[in-house]
Amino acid sequence: MTTTDAPTTLAARGISKSYGDVRALADVSIDIPRGQSVAIMGPSGSGKSTLLHCLSGILVPDAGVVSLGEDAVSALRDKQRSLLRRRRFGFVFQDGQLLPELPARENVALPLLLGGKSRMEALAAADQWLARLGLAGMEARRPGELSGGQAQRVAIARALVHGPDVVFADEPTGALDQATGHEVMQVLTTTTAMAGSTLVLVTHDDEVAGWCQRLVEIRDAMIHADQPITGGTR
């Protein structure tokens, strides 16, 4: 949260992004209030990942502004932007992107250690999150010793351990079978809701999107539709 008590809205104002001649985003604006879960869908190449990367400060738009509460994310210099990303955002990718040589508990503790917490505090918090996600007893396993669904739960714990304002997820169930994907989405949406974090995810899968409260459809670099999901699980 910012120093005021105002809810921390993630917002894009008129953002555009091109790669050479390819226009990936054209004058896109969106407001995502704190705690909301949003699915971004659209055809391949429509600009979904570019939007996610601009909102999360991985990319800087060519024009327009991305802000989180009172902080203009897109105006920050590289170093400040990566600091903000580390402190206030969490990320879940398709393949988890856990560090293969580290046990689950150390993977989860990493954002806290990077944020300056003591090793003891960070590992204790990591163990709590792993237990919350149904992984008690698996703290010492390395990612290669976990199933795909278990590894994604470790990735979710790592994304949430430092109490981020926003969790960004790019195809979080893309590498899982349907039943495991369903389970991971249930865990992802309920734990981010419990933590009071916003969830922004990109998916090709209607069922995955159905776990969110809002659906944003991108076509040809623009927002084509933006509507609440009725019967959304969150």
Ligand X SMILES: Nc1ncnc2c1ncn2[C@@H]1O[C@H](COP(=O)(O)OP(=O)(O)OP(=O)(O)O)[C@@H](O)[C@H]1O
Q: Nearer to ligand X by C-beta: 49 or 67? A: 49
Among 19, 75, 118, 220, binds ligand X (CB under 6 A): 19
User: DSSP string covering 185-206, please?
Assistant: HHHHHHHHHHHT-EEEEE-S-H
Task: Give min distance, CB of 48 to ligand X, in A.
Answer: 4
Per rule CB under 6 A, is residue 47 in the interface with ligand X? yes
Binding window for ligand X (CB under 6 A); candidates: 47-55, 86-94, 109-117, 128-136: 47-55
In the DSSP assignment, the letter for residue 133 is T
Per rule CB under 6 A, is residue 200 in the interface with ligand X? no
Rounded to 5°, the CA angle 113-37-22 comes to 90
Q: Nearer to ligand X by C-beta: 19 or 140? A: 19
Task: Give min distance, CB of 189 to ligand X, in A.
Answer: 21
Among 9, 16, 49, 128, binds ligand X (CB under 6 A): 49
Per rule CB under 6 A, is residue 8 in the interface with ligand X? no
Q: Nearer to ligand X by C-beta: 24 or 159? A: 24
Per rule CB under 6 A, is residue 16 in the interface with ligand X? no
Per rule CB under 6 A, is residue 159 in the interface with ligand X? no
Strand intervals (E) in the chain: 10-19, 22-32, 37-41, 63-68, 71-72, 89-92, 166-170, 198-202, 214-219, 222-228
Per rule CB under 6 A, is residue 150 in the interface with ligand X? no
CA 170/CA 59 separation, integer angstroms: 15
# residues near ligand X by CB under 6 A = 11
What the block records as the tokens of 74 is 């897109």
Per rule CB under 6 A, is residue 21 in the interface with ligand X? no
Please state the separation of Cα 3 from the chain's center in Å.
23
Residues contacting residue 169 through CB under 8 Å, at least 6 positions apart: 91, 92, 93, 159, 188, 199, 200, 201, 202
CA 28/CA 100 separation, integer angstroms: 37
Q: Which residues bind ligand X (CB under 6 A)?
A: 19, 22, 24, 42, 44-50
